[in-house]
Chains A and B, each alone.
Chain A
């Protein structure tokens, strides 16, 4: 492996402080890290919960992006040591781990989803939600592949793109890095955070430690989410995984993978991640709370209420965060302030009815009611069959019917005349969980290269090599050194892995909620003014 930072540098990792973390124990800090975690822009992460509103359902899940960032720094360093990184390179990857979430949104991914501007125009929020739900259900039959790779994270509203932009524009972070470790180019940190493999091929191994199917980020959040939520899905044999990491050169770049002895631990990691998603993230109460919060964030951002910046202006606020504190305040507190302000304001001339109702419920830690018997959960590997089950269900039939309805402005309207409260206003929400983002090489070839669409065979051969390279960089790789040489392939192509047999597994969930009923309460919700 070729070092990224100057190998002649006499920089040595020395720790001058430590922080006690409930997952990893003491996390030691170098002087530059100590200074960075003191910065208000980093401390901002203490006010962003890792799992948004999951703590209202799993009360222990109070952990924040701050502790997760420290955990990622700790784990990625263990990986770097295993791979024989120089001290300079260790410091670089530690900083990337520490700063990888610095651009996160209020309520983490809930806020991030709310900030994605819709392409189509919708008359009502509900119509947008219906369209999104129908698209989510279609994901059941979409083969998994590595389309999460490459430039995907570089979408302007992705928190990692926001984080990279923030570092690029942060004099205080760049000054600290240049004072304590001037051999590090802060732009390398940005490229690792976003995962720009092609710009700096020498960063390949580092990027994989932060951006692959078995990276420090995913391992830390699986361990941390389980530990804090009290669930048992975070059992990962971190020791075996890290001790079995290896790095080899293929297609001219470094590829990080797991030795055969780490295959079972990797299988266990993927399976536990599947359960963690299905049991925590897709929990019906969590899903309801997140739906309501997302609706509120989307609304206040569109209207620029309660200091929420408009999506199209977010980039400018990130650029100038040192002179304008809009982005500094962009945390969970801002969200809760908006919720309480809306609840207090309670003016359905100024605000839509559904927003006021959601704010009222959230302010009391209540959520909308799931309709009994409509929780449709199917798992399987035959996508057509899975889709048929979902499409035959009552919530789906209602969803289609809602999609064809012309929505009146009753629920969303601003007119003061609609004082009545709806009895039944059913909305549906879908989740699709997959086991892995990887597919076997044969399937990938069949999908992309079986038909030579551009009638240029040589060009296709070159493309295929490029794609194979990126698939390895982004996937979970097995590095098998044997008498015949070194075999490098994806875990889904390895006969020793159970993932090879079950990689197509999907879990599809469709539920129905009543927009205007409390959970566990039969009466239609009535706001205090009615």
Chain B
């Protein structure tokens, strides 16, 4: 049936898979993301550019799902509409999350995504089909719970410094930051970037999953994942504070795409909330340069 490409952690891959597609949470990179409908204009988020361009270049792409948690992603839909490439869907993620109507809107948007998938040839899943897929994903996530792409396996030496990575989405090039941490004497004990454990959904409520799978699915994503775009976003701060303390984190590296206002604006607040030093690293879509490498090295040295 082809791939449905997405990047937002609030897009449930179970829903896509249950419609018969292969959900692909694309990690974009410069290999295929430099050229395409999104140009390298001043102010354009490097992640967004690489993601959209790589998505339309992905072989077997049947559709692309964008989410409104980022304003530029919202406008990327316009670029795609004009380019006439891969069919795209814009999922509205309510920012004001504390009301039942916001949760209802998210559920409604997920159902609308289902209708979009049907227009691409997908089949609306039965309850059993969706439950089966959810069950499989839930078990797979449990197995993979300790892994992290940005936090590579390492031998946790006695003297290595426990570090947390925090922030938004990362490109393939940005993922090299985890290796830099290890190289300079640290170990990543918490990956709170968008692809890390912070953005994993809740375990599905198995008592209700077989009776109301879609309800359980949407509850596990929206209202559970703490994110910077939610208003208010205090849950994110509480989550990071709790997890960093529980893992005896000695320093936090905040990774943000260079024009990302939502993460950038919160750097100051994180410094106030956290009891440990924070290094603010802005990412430009390229492999970390000398400046970034030196900053990370100095940061880790200062924590020893």
Partners in one complex: no
